[in-house]
Structures are given as C-alpha cells and as structure tokens.
Amino acid sequence: MTTTQADLDRLAVNTIRTLAMDAVQAANSGHPGTPMAMAPVAYELWQNHLRFDPNDPIWPNRDRFVLSMGHASMLLYSMLHLTQVKAVNAAYESVGKPSVTLDDIKRFRQMDSRCAGHPEYRWTSGIETTTGPLGQGYATSVGMAVAGKWLAAHYNRPGFDLFGYHVYALGGDGCMMEGAASEAASLAGHLKLDNLCWIYDNNKITIEGNTGWSFSEDVATRFVAYGWNVTRVSDANDLEMLKRAYNLAKETKGRPTLIIVDSHIAWGAPNLQDTHEAHGAPLGEEEIKLTKRNYGWPEDAKFRVPTEVLEHFNKGMGKRGGNLRSEWMSLYEKYKAKFPKEADELVRIQKRQLPDGWDKNLKPFPTDPKGLAGRDASGKVLNAIAQSVPWLIGGSADLAPSTKTRLTFEGAEDFGPPGLAADPHHPTKIHFGGRNMHFGIREIAMGAVLNGMALTKVRPYGSGFFVFSDFSRPCIRLAAIMEIPVIYIFTHDSIGVGEDGPTHQPIEHLASLRAIPGLITMRPGDPNEVLEAWKTIMKMRHEPVCLVLSRQNMPTVDRTKCGSAEGVAKGAYILSEAEGGKPDVLLMASGTEVALAMDSQAKLKSEGIKARVVSMPSWELFEHQDREYRDSVLPPSIKARVSIEALSTFCWERYVGPTGESIGMRTFGASAPLKELNKKFGFTPEAVAEAAKRTIAANR
C-alpha cells in the first residue's frame, strides 16, 4: 500500500494528539485539549518551516519556538520527542541522547521527568524559555527577536549573514488578555521586528468557559494598530493555509506578524467539541478510546509512536535543519579566518564569558565626605564596563536620565529600526546595532524582553525606579527560575525619594525581592561598593541581580581607615571595627544607611561604647559564604545588634536575633524633605545610639 504525503501528515498530527491524550491521562493531570487542537499548527511549522537542527538545539542561528501557553506543554514535549532533539549538557556540548524520551512522556508531570507540568528552560533541551504565567512567553519572544536584530547588525558582514533567525511564539486567549503580551506587542510593532511571528490559538475558551464572558475585543484590529501584519487561518487543520501564513510571515518586511488560527479545543474528541472540559483535565479512558477511533487509531494502544513518523520528521525537519546548521558552521569557519576578533566574541557570548581585560577601565572613587549618589556612581561604572563588553546592552522604562543608565561613549548609539523618528531636539543615530534601548513606560515588557535577550546570550540590563520593580517582579522571578544573568538597576531606593511621597517610596520591595530564590540583591553603601558590586555582577553567569541604588549622595568611605570594598563580593564585611576589635554592639546596614551607621558608631564611641559597623549589601552572597566567615563578621557571642535600613524591617530578625533591634520602616513613608523624614522615622545617630544601648542592656 502506497503511503501518500497526506497520509504521513495525518499520521504525524495524530501521533502528536494521542501522545498528549495518553500522557495527561497517565498523569491524571494536565491539559490535553490545546495540544490536540494545535497539533497541525505545530506540525506544519516544525516539519516544513522551522530552521532548527535537532542534533544541535543551541545552534546560534536557529529559529526559536516559544510555547507561551505553557499549560499545553505536551504539544512541545511531543515535538521534541518526535523530532529526536538531542540533550545538551552544562558545557554547551551535545551529549547525544534524546532530550525527551518516551519514558519521560509516560512520566509526564512526575518527579524528575523531563516533561514537567510547564516547559522549563535548562531542564529540557529544546525548550527556549520557561513558560507558565500566560503572556510571558509572548513577551519574552520579543526579547529574542530584539537580540537577533542586534546580533545581525553588530556581527553580520557582506557575504557573511551569520544571524537572521526568526522567532515563533504560540499563545492563546489567556496570553492575549495579559498585560505583558500587550505591552510587548506594542513595543515589537514600534521596533518593526519583522523576525517575529506570533501564532494566536483563537479557540474562545478559558478555564471558566467561553471567552465571551470576559473578552470581546477585535484582536486583529488591535494588532494592526500596533503596526503588525495580521493574517488568519480559519481552520487549524488546514495545512495549506498554515503553510501560506508561515511563508507570509517570513516574507514580510518591516512588521512583525500575527497569525490568528481558529480552532476547537480537543479537536477530534467526539463529546468535547466546543466545551472547556478538556482544557484542564484528562479526557477519561472512554473518551480517549472514542477519540482514537475517530482518528482511525488503535483504541487500546497507548503512547504509540509509529516508526514511519520518526522517519518522516528525520527526513523533513531533521535533514533540513542539519543542512542549514552545517552550512552555517562552514560559513562561521570562513568568518573566523577573516574576522577573528568578532568570531571570538561570538564564542564568549554563547558561553557567557567576558572579554579579556573587561575591567581595565575601572578606577576606584577617591575618598570624599560629600560622595556621589549610588545611581551616579553606577552610571560611571556601567559606561566604563560597556566600552569593554560590546554585548552589554540595555536601557530603561523611560527613566534613563534619572537612573543614569544611558551609554554615553562614542558608538553606543540607540537601538531601533533605521529611519525611526527620533527627538528633533536631541538627534541620535538609531539602528539595530545601537546599544541604548528605549522600552517606554512598559516595566512588565521590559522585564520579559530582558529575559529573551539573556536567553539569546547577550548581556542585558534594564532600569527603573525601585518602587516600580513590582511591575517587573514576575519577569524577575522567571529569570531566577531559569538561572539567567539579567541585570536590573533600580534607583530611588528608599524614603530618600522625599517629597514624592508614599507612592514613590519603596518600603517592602527589597524584602520582597530577597524572598525570591536564586536572585541576588545588592544595595551598596558607597561609590566604591557600587564599583565592587558591578565587578561581582559581571562575573555571574547564572544569577539574575537587582542592583538597588540611591538617588541621594553617599559619602565615599576612606578605605585607608576602613575595610576594603572588595568585601562586597562576600555580601557583608566589617567596614569599621570597634576599638580593640571587641565590640559591645554590632551595627548592620546597607545602602545610604551605611553612612548613618558610621556616624552612630562615632556617637557611641564618644559615650564609651564600642560598636562594629558591618556593611551588608547582599544577604544572598553573605549566605553563600562558609560558617567560619559569617561568624567572623557577625560573631554569635555578640547578641547586642542593631540593623539600619530605610526600608521594611521584615526578615532582619535572622540577623538581629530575639534581643536585637531593627531601625526601619513599619509603615509607608510620607511626602516631605528627606531630613524631616529621617527625623520622623528614626534615621538619626541619636536614635541608633539609643537602640544600641537598649539592646546592650537587654543582653547583659
């Protein structure tokens, strides 16, 4: 019997569908409906369009596929298994075994399976980003497209088009409702990212039921207004129309593309058409048998993968992707011979390594009682580093003049499509090789775009006022889960914002960020601590960092009389020792309150009380040190302790202990000049000294 192309197409699509049904049923948990409905959409894209080599899933110029609706994870796991994507180890070397085995699929959503409930980056090769929170995958894909444009502009040469990949993201109604996707879509349209294609599963179903209860906007018109190219496929099973839509996306210039695909959830399930029942629950054994019968599939066969389907994918995507990757490697070898410096940079980017001499422009700040604001010191250090690390790229959510995050050296320029209308009063050169990004007032999109850029291995940073870190927090959390080295620069870090009042004065924010596992927070206490913080940050390869900086000046400490600022790398260190090295009390502080601790130490000394000042810019780094070091900084025998931070006191108990005191914020702030705020809330040497004496008395 002759097997036609249509037969192979149908067999492959139904294999994807039945794997999803069987895996969800075996787990008694998950979402089978969307993978069943979207199977033809994924099949056509992967088999006939995606530039992806299953044998090298980290090939730099591969097309990216992002599953924004992460609950449909079995769709992605099925594709990774059927295309036989190979696993990659931590050294970025292919290890030859399958990324997703059939046993992994059989153990879907179970402990240690490579098929977790939602796709997880770094856990399963071939997954480009961790998805789950709806809209985040769409938004992250914009960052991947941004990085692709930048890499092409910076490294391509005539005859050497090393970068030109496309990014495809598949999402649903929930993604379209989330603000993250809307912000990112607006930015992508503005930047004219024609290497980006979103596929929208328009099935009109969410967990509660029909979207008519909550979502009735005209999505197509909205995206046209954003500046996108919009096309529609009226039937998710129509492979020819899907092919036409994908080709249109690849051919479109100057606009990203949205493909709206009309579908029915749990396609082929006879009793579940046009319902939400299959959205978040197994179909049930009887419904699965009926559905398989509807497909012409053996009713009792579970996790069936026909050999001809594996061969079909190998001859299609496998052969095409392998050839494309081989051609690229050959081109890269010629590129390396002609452009050795740039070729070396590309290797370092992929391995998250720094250039030799990356810190050559860094100089310590001289002692100065007046000092500098944390944001000003950071701006100087950032510009010094960025001149030596060409792939350090970033910007702010419309606040670069305040956060001091603009790169000002010659050649930095601005990122965007050539010809983009700029401010006529401040003309700048705008092109895709520019390194200053303008995210607009889109903190959520900024965070997600930074994640997408980091996943493409460039080193991104983004900035804003610390109080607005709330907007970016879901993205920061995902960066920590994925272990990617995104840099967040947050300024205006305390009630020091002054007259702007409670809406702009961060109180609980540092405690909130300290609560995120894997995230490094750093709140340096003088300009040289800022310098050392940046040195520490740049060496990190798997940790996102929030650098929290002041608006107001911080005195530059005299390091000939105090501990070296290199102690920042250990998270906390003895800044100023008590006379004789035997303190009566420990004063612990971060940021602008370090200077207050120093003044309080002097006041206590005048009263015959010996205090040790400990600067604690990073709790996380301090906890990474061994017990011996931590005890040397905070001796367990000294119970009299005072913490000083113009933020929430939450969790300082771990360091001050049951008989210590915390000077901090227990309410929101107020609108007033800083000196008045400090007096009102107890940030004065007198208040600190009184707290020190109380805790000393309590521990006698």
- Cβ count near 423 (within 10 Å): 7
Element (H, E) at 199: strand 196-202
Cα dist. 642→593, 638, 696 in Å?
A: 12, 11, 10
Cβ pair 400, 377 in contact under 8 A: no
Q: Determine the angle formed by the axes of helices 5-27 and 73-82, rounding to 10 degrees.
A: 130
Tokens, residue 691: 């707290």
CA 404 – CA 159 distance, rounded (Å): 38
Q: DSSP labels for 247-279?
A: HHHHH--SS-EEEEEE--TTTT-TT-TT-STTT
Which residue shows structure tokens 């249509």? 6
3-state secondary structure 320-369: HHHHHHHHHHHHHHHHHHHCHHHHHHHHHHHCCCCCCCCCCCCCCCCCEE
CA 108 – CA 672 distance, rounded (Å): 56
Q: Is the dihedral of CA 335, 336, 342, 345 positive or negative?
A: positive
Cβ pair 403, 396 in contact under 8 A: yes
Cβ pair 117, 346 in contact under 8 A: no
Cα dist. 267→418, 481, 596 in Å?
A: 44, 33, 66
Cβ pair 133, 478 in contact under 8 A: yes
3-state secondary structure 104-117: HHHCCCCCCCCCCC
Tokens, residue 18: 């039945």
* Helix/strand/coil for 170: strand
Q: Is 653 a catalytic residue?
A: no
Cβ pair 152, 161 in contact under 8 A: yes
Phi, psi of 697 (to 5 degrees): -65, -40
CA 397 – CA 492 distance, rounded (Å): 14
Strands 196-202 and 257-262: parallel
Cβ pair 248, 239 in contact under 8 A: no
| Contacting residues for 660 by C-beta, under 8 A, at least 6 apart | 639, 640, 641, 642, 643, 695
Q: Which residue among 120, 178, 345, 443 is the active-site one?
A: 443
- Cβ count near 410 (within 10 Å): 6
Least Cα distance to 27 among 280, 287, 298 occurs for 280
Element (H, E) at 6: helix 5-27
Longest dimension (CA), the chain: 99
The amino acid occupying position 309 is V
CA 319 – CA 306 distance, rounded (Å): 19
Least Cα distance to 446 among 425, 422, 423, 468 occurs for 468
The CA-to-CA distance between both ends of the chain, in Å, stands at 93
Cβ pair 372, 556 in contact under 8 A: yes
Q: Which residues are catalytic?
A: 443
